[in-house]
Amino acid sequence: MIDLVHLEIYKRHYGNIDSWGKGSTKTERKILSDKNWEIIDEVKHSLVIIERGLSSGGFRQQIIDRLSEVSSLEAKEFAKILGHDVL
């Protein structure tokens, strides 16, 4: 499950996988898996689509449902931590 610690690591590397791959600590790599990085990145991109008004209400609900499956955080909190106030 993705939690606040995972999101903080993601933010520390500005969502840049190269920065994380080259500049992360051994501890960060143990905490945040490639799969979790991919999920956070996928959600972040989806939030941008919602924010720009390029999605349907159904898509928005899919993202909320997805977040409840993969994160211990509320969807709205998850989005805000990533800098998006759209859910």
Q: How many CB atoms lie within 10 A of CB 45?
A: 10
Residue 13 DSSP SS3? coil
What whole-number distance in Å separates Cα of residue 6 and Cα of residue 36? 8
How much is the pLDDT for 33? Answer: 94
Instruction: Locate the domains of the chain by residue range.
Output: 4-81
Per-residue pLDDT in tens (0 to 9) along the chain, 87 residues: 999 999 999 999 999 999 998 999 999 999 999 999 999 999 999 999 999 999 999 999 999 999 999 999 999 999 999 999 998
How much is the pLDDT for 44? Answer: 97
